[in-house]
Structure 1
Amino acid sequence: MQACRCDIRGPRRGVSQAPHDSLDAASPDLFPGALPTALLRPTVRRRQRQGASRMRFSLRPMLAGLAFVLVGCTALSAPAWADKRVALVIGNSAYRNTVPLPNPRNDATDVAKALKAVGFTVVEGYDLDKRGMDDAFRRFANEAEGADAALFYYGGHGFQFQGSNYLMPVDAKLTGVGDVNYEMARVDDILNDLQRANGVRIVMLDACRDNPLAQQLLSKASPTRSIGISRGLARIQQTAGSVIAYSTQPGAVAADGGGRNSPFAAAFLGEVGKPGVEIGALFRRVAANVYKATNERQLPEVTFSLLGDFYFAGGSSAPTPVPPVLPTPAPQTPAPAPLDAAAQAAVEGCDKMAASPQDMDRPSGVPGVEFNRIQPRLAVEACRAALAAAPEDRRVQFQLARALDVAGSDAEARELLTKAAAAGSVSAMSDLALMLETGEGGPMDLPHAVSLFDQAAAAGNISAMRNIAIEFENGTGRPRDAVQAAQWYRKAADTGDPQAMGFLAVLYLQGTGVPKNAGEARQWIDKLVETEHTQTMLRVGYVLLGQTGAVKDFATARKLFQRAAELGDGDGNVMLGNMAANGIGGPRDFGRATDFFERAAAIGNLNAKASLIPFLMAGAGGIKRDPGKAADYGLEALRGGSPVARGLLIDKASTSLTPQLRKAVEQRLAKAGLLNRAPDGSYGADTLAALQAFVLAK
């Protein structure tokens, strides 16, 4: 893992003294630093459907990681398929000198059991005194050495003191502030232990209970002198490759549950064992479930600094190697009986809405629709009518499954794919294999998935070839083998597949599975530019900016972004704007940056609208100062899932927003009924909770 250290903040002067066209002279509050990028989901589905991208690189993190207001550190997470997983789980309930807590011991017991079930080796500690906590930390530090995934879970009392977080052993006795460093366990110590892991590092703190002992210290303090003790926990400084989950907003107080578990632990236990759920999606579900279970009184917060994916279950642990399956020809079925005119019209309607460009059954003259461009409501309606007219037509079965997949009806989609694959649809075999691999719409079945991919690839299905490459690359269902991965990417690329071209180019740049060869990589990039697959262009362009440790080539990156922009992809202009604003591959030019951002915003690109916020705050780059418009852009982009907007409005709000913009955001939240006080720009925990509710209510 590498971090790119860079600071684009200009001289530390206030906005009021800044020249109208200068962000260099703008307030440092406009520049929040690094965004915890792995909180952000891909803009398209990760799994590879016919014509959809199963991504080795995620577009949304790269947009956030390079967004000019957010440039700081870009880090790669460990692979999602961790081999060595370790955890330290502590639950302190039986406090001797303050209020006991009913849930933490139960929570820790249940969390430890759940983590063991998904492959973690767990160091457990219950009702630990200070010596016991120190000993548990030492044991965990030894276990975490070189781990692919390391997790720390704590349930019990905790509070913040002078900006640092402390966890309370059961024997802690605080008579004055001088006792804090001796009686309490420091979260910073466990964070240092987590750094021994090579891969993803996860911290879960259910430690924000109301603590009378901390309140006693506050009451003893001089009213004229702050001692720095606060309710709840402070926000932890993020490090590369980490995930930090708080049971409630930093500074707020969490609740114990009325049953066996706390709301946070109960929500996590309900999600952790579900296969194929990426960690970002998992914690979003946890947050939503806690918010609902507590009648909107408690909202967890999770911050990330990952670019890759991590799965607790269903794809994250090293699988048992599956013996190779000999490819078999696709089963042949008799040609369907001719359709009458009405039935033929219905089938053609389905073809128009949901045919796959890669489907071998697609009739000539039918162009097909890429997966991420399917309109689910219209496509489902058209293809249901077609299936009623031609119930045994495997192409119609497959196309309705595609539409249902986009619509989120996974179980029905899987059932239809099973029928179509049995009838000989090669495309259905490939898509069904993905659902079997991930456990989507039903139970996981890796051996069956591998067999179907092999059959589909043997029949010439490009998506299956690419997915076989990904399985070898990640060790999913097959032994991890970089050479085999490169060979399968080459097979798909040789057919003219743009995604495989891009992935293969990256392998040549990195020397992974093939000799490092920048010239060979650029040949594949030149072929990629001749296609219209903009998402792959953006991903490869991002790699060429040097953000993943590969060779830097700013000119070629700009060429890829320009080509994507020419083809109508707004993110191409966003990336060009990021380059101009950061001075990447040329002098910094804010006017040129705003031009690129405005072009993308004009076609509805939300990352572009969010990227314009600092310019609208400062009145820079040729744009008039307009906090109201900045707030509108920010909230629109936040609700639409823009990582740039989240970084500005939530993750780094205290340092990225002017007082005028903070007040403008609060005014809009109050108008929506989400903020129950007069907007004053204070931007406290209630504002952040309102923003989270704003996102959840979309």
Structure 2
Amino acid sequence: MSFLFKSLIFTACLLLAAGAQAASDRIALVIGVAEYQHLPPLENTRNDAVAMADTLEGIGFDVSLALDPGTSEMVQLLDDFAFRSEVADLALVYFAGHGIEVQGENFLIPADARVASNRDVQRQSLSLKQLLGAVDRARKMRIVILDSCRDNPLGDSIALDEQSSTETAETTETTRGGGGMAPADPDRGTLVAFAAKDGQVALDGSGSNSPYATALMEKMVQPGLEISLMFRQVRDRVLENTANLQEPHTYGSLTGVPFYLAGPGADDAPVTVADASEAWAALKPDQEEQLLALAELGDTRSMLGLAYIRLNPNEGRFDPKAAVDFLQRAAEAGSPEAQFELAKLFERGTGVEADPAKALELYQAAAAQDFADAINDLGFLHYQGGLGLPANPKKALSFFERAADLRHPQAQFNFAALIDDGLIPSKGPEDSAHYLYAALRSGSSDVLNLLSERPNMFTPQTRRALQQKLQDNNFYAGAIDGDFGPGTQRGIRQAYGLEG
């Protein structure tokens, strides 16, 4: 069957051509607003933004810095950054300025905003959701940092309607009396860091930088400091420097692969290590102790890291039973990645007696939380039959489509191949090209190589549709003829994020 043929090719592709230059894999947008035109100015936000941009550049980020932008400029900045973030491994946004909660949603106020009511805030400000959207498609990690939890610039209450502050408003909503932001709930793989936890006010500090920015810049430049532990140390430093008046907080969950903002230390695994067990096993003993402490506090990512360490057979801490214990705790706490990893152990009988029914239950639990790896694997289980499931190719297709829509690169390719083979009656060449383009933007080197080396495995109709997709996104200006010549190949590489 052609689907199986294409899938096998997917796992046996060529290496990237020598000399290819990748676009920056770590990008940051830094925004600082101090000189408000219609609101009280802030002391340190401009200094914080400039210093943060310098710090991030110093550890290898490609940084865009904006000082005192207005509403339209901020919107354009986020739109441009969102497009660039699609081909970056890590996308980070840092905002220092006035922020306010309106009806449970967080808003960041531009320099030219004239706000006297909730509706003014909603119309003229940028929401946290918009900042999250700007980093949403980064390939590995997404971070939004808000040093914006300062005193509420609008007073204790503002009008719910559009009346100005000089008119009488019959209905008002009391905001958080001293300021502060609402709790954040970002998607998986995204971390939102607040300078002060929800409902609390961040301090400007007496120096040239705020206590939070100072601690953040101090910690983020330390090589070998794993990112979740870095934010924990930032929290501790701010509490110490503010006499416990300000407690930073993070929301969301990062992937289970260790990451170092300033790169790994001399004895750490390189950032290119794909195997989570090997990467976590290289963590220094003092950081493992910190993981243990965080795990005791219920941090599921720390439990995952500790489990991965104990699943590495190449060093002395190999202990599959202990790994199962950590994963069970994290799975019971709701971590879909832990449910997925635990499912694999029950399927193989590693550290626990093999239990196909339990494995299937855990795969399904992770899939119910939109964990794309679990959904993709369930697709194969339904397609081929496994873990007690009868073979059901039709049902498998719905899993492949769902995983593809969740930006799982292998699923994107496989679903594109299924469409191209005519196995999805409701979809055609434009849909196949859509998923191939999405896989390129997701960073699938397999798809890059197949389209570069063997494009004729796809029908002429799909090839023409992909050329049109490249043209629509300004990666290609040639004929829509299905011939993948030098111009199309250049467009494919640029869509992937390669230059030259």
CA shift, 1:146, in A, is 2.4
User: Which residue of structure 1 aligns with residue 465 of structure 2?
Assistant: none
Where do residues 469-480 of structure 1 align in structure 2 (5 Å cutoff)?
Answer: 470=278
Deviations 1:306-327 (A, max 9, x none): 2222111132xxxxxxxxxxxx
CA shift, 1:175, in A, is 3.0
Distance 2:236 2:337 in 1: 36
Aligned partner of 2:322: which letter?
A: Q
Distance 1:265 1:117 in 2: 15
User: Which residue of structure 2 aligns with residue 181 of structure 1?
Assistant: 122
Distance 1:101 1:128 in 2: 14
User: Which residue among 44, 53, 59 is the counterpart of 1:118?
Assistant: 59
Taking structure 1 as reference, are residues 263 and 502 closer, same or farther at Cα in structure 2, changes over 3 Å only?
closer
User: Which residue of structure 2 aligns with residue 283 of structure 1?
Assistant: 231
Distance 2:103 2:135 in 1: 23
User: Which residue of structure 2 aligns with residue 269 of structure 1?
Assistant: 217
Matched, 1:314 2:272: no
Q: Is the 8 A contact 2:30 2:63 kept in 1?
A: yes
Distance 1:554 1:534 in 2: 10
Q: Is the 8 A contact 2:311 2:319 kept in 1?
A: no
User: Which residue of structure 2 aligns with residue 455 of structure 1?
Assistant: none
User: Which residue among 49, 55, 70 is the counterpart of 1:129?
Assistant: 70
Taking structure 1 as reference, are residues 119 and 215 closer, same or farther at Cα in structure 2, changes over 3 Å only?
same
CA shift, 1:438, in A, is 4.1
Taking structure 1 as reference, are residues 160 and 503 closer, same or farther at Cα in structure 2, changes over 3 Å only?
same
User: Which residue among 173, 183, 198 is the counterpart of 1:250?
Assistant: 198
Distance 1:102 1:256 in 2: 7
Q: Is the 8 A contact 1:264 1:290 kept in 2?
A: yes
User: Which residue of structure 2 aligns with residue 92 of structure 1?
Assistant: 33
Distance 2:338 2:171 in 1: 46
Where do residues 25-174 of structure 1 align in structure 2 (5 Å cutoff)?
Answer: 84-174=25-115
Where do residues 385-396 of structure 1 align in structure 2 (5 Å cutoff)?
Answer: none
Could you tell me which runs of 5 or more consecutive residues in structure 2 were left unpaired when the two chains were aligned. 1-22, 283-307, 365-500
Taking structure 1 as reference, are residues 97 and 215 closer, same or farther at Cα in structure 2, changes over 3 Å only?
farther
Distance 1:195 1:186 in 2: 14
Distance 1:172 1:139 in 2: 21
Where do residues 398-547 of structure 1 align in structure 2 (5 Å cutoff)?
Answer: 436-438=266-268, 470=278, 534-536=321-323
Distance 1:190 1:227 in 2: 25
User: Which residue of structure 2 aligns with residue 227 of structure 1?
Assistant: 173
User: Which residue among 141, 144, 148 is the counterpart of 1:200?
Assistant: 141
Aligned partner of 1:201: which letter?
A: R
SS of match in other structure, 1:286: helix
Q: Is the 8 A contact 1:205 1:245 kept in 2?
A: yes
Taking structure 1 as reference, are residues 532 and 262 closer, same or farther at Cα in structure 2, changes over 3 Å only?
closer
Aligned partner of 1:267: which letter?
A: A
Percent of aligned pairs with the same residue? 30
Taking structure 1 as reference, are residues 90 and 277 closer, same or farther at Cα in structure 2, changes over 3 Å only?
same
Count of aligned pairs between the two proteins: 295
CA shift, 1:127, in A, is 0.8
Distance 1:214 1:124 in 2: 30
CA shift, 1:253, in A, is 1.3
Distance 2:99 2:28 in 1: 20
Higher relative contact order (CA 8 A, sep 6+): 1
User: Which residue of structure 2 aligns with residue 666 of structure 1?
Assistant: none
User: Which residue among 216, 234, 240 is the counterpart of 2:188?
Assistant: 240
* Structure holding more strand per residue: 2
Spell out structure 1 runs of 4+ moving beyond 4 A.
218-226, 499-505, 536-543, 545-559, 582-586
SS of match in other structure, 2:216: helix
Where do residues 625-640 of structure 1 align in structure 2 (5 Å cutoff)?
Answer: none
Aligned partner of 1:159: which letter?
A: I
SS of match in other structure, 1:227: strand
SS of match in other structure, 1:212: coil
Could you tell me which runs of 5 or more consecutive residues in structure 1 were left unpaired when the two chains were aligned. 1-81, 316-434, 440-445, 447-466, 475-498, 506-530, 564-575, 587-698
Q: Is the 8 A contact 1:245 1:300 kept in 2?
A: yes
Taking structure 1 as reference, are residues 179 and 241 closer, same or farther at Cα in structure 2, changes over 3 Å only?
same
User: Which residue of structure 1 aligns with residue 351 of structure 2?
Assistant: 560
User: Which residue among 245, 256, 260 is the counterpart of 1:297?
Assistant: 245
TM norm structure 1: 0.37
Deviations 1:481-517 (A, max 9, x none): xxxxxxxxxxxxxxxxxx9995589xxxxxxxxxxxx
Q: Is the 8 A contact 2:346 2:352 kept in 1?
A: no
Taking structure 1 as reference, are residues 83 and 92 closer, same or farther at Cα in structure 2, changes over 3 Å only?
closer
Taking structure 1 as reference, are residues 247 and 225 closer, same or farther at Cα in structure 2, changes over 3 Å only?
same
Distance 2:344 2:267 in 1: 36
Aligned partner of 2:109: which letter?
A: M
CA shift, 1:142, in A, is 2.0
